[in-house]
Amino acid sequence: MNTLVMNCSPVRNGATAEIVNLVSDCLRDRYEVKTICIDDFDIRFCKGCRTCHNTAKCIQHDDVDIVINQFEWADIIIAVAPSYWADVPGQFKVFIDRCTPWCNTHEPHATISDGKKGYTIALRTGPSMRECNRIIESIEHFYGHLEIECCNSLGLCSVENKEAVEPRKCEIIEFCNNI
C-alpha cells in the first residue's frame, strides 16, 4: 500500500518533521512511503469566487494539483500538524481551503479515488490536549469532505522541539503499529 506522510508545518526540520521521519521509518517495512512538506509547494489563498462550485476546478494554477496527485497516489494519508494558535498552521489551512473543488458538499465536485484511509498526529508545546483535539477535528473534517475514512489519531502535548520527540518515540511507534 502507498502511504503519504505530510508535514503540515512550514518548518522543514523541527519537531513535526522529526515525527514525520519517525513515522516514515516505522512504516517503510510494510508500505511504500512518500513524505511531503506543505512549505515545499506554492499554494495561493482561495479567492472565494465559488467558480469551483460550478466547474469542479479552481481558476488558480499553482501546486494544489501536485499535492492532490500525491493524495491520489496514496492509499493511506497521515497528516502531522503542530498547533499554531490552537489550530492547523496557516499554510496547511490555505491548502484545505483550496481543496474546495474536491469537497463533497456541492455538485459537481472533483474526486479522489475511494477507499483512502486517513490518520492524524497533532502536536503542541503546551500540556493540554484541548488544542491537539481541535487540530485533529480540523483535519478529520477535511478528510470527511474528501471522503477519506478517518481511522485513528494521536495527540502529543508538551512537544517544544525536536529533542522533545525522543521521549514520545514509543507512543508514536505504537500508533504506527496500528496503521
The pLDDT of residue 66: 98
pLDDT for residue 173: 98
- Sign of dihedral through CA atoms 152, 155, 156, 161? positive
- What digits encode the pLDDT tens for the residues 73-128? 999 999 999 999 999 999 999 999 999 999 999 899 999 999 999 999 999 999 99
Would you state the pLDDT for residue 35? 98
* Average of per-residue pLDDT across 160-164: 96
**Residue written as cell 496557516?**
90
| DSSP letter, residue 7 | E
Averaged confidence pLDDT in the chain: 97
Predicted TM-score (pTM) of this structure:
0.97
Cβ neighbours of residue 141 under 8 Å, at least 6 residues apart? none
Sign of the four-CA dihedral 73, 137, 44, 99: positive
State pLDDT tens for residues 31-85.
999 999 999 999 999 999 999 999 999 999 999 999 999 999 999 999 999 999 9
Structure confidence at residue 144 (pLDDT): 98
Name 42's Cβ contacts closer than 8 Å, sequence gap at least 6.
62, 63
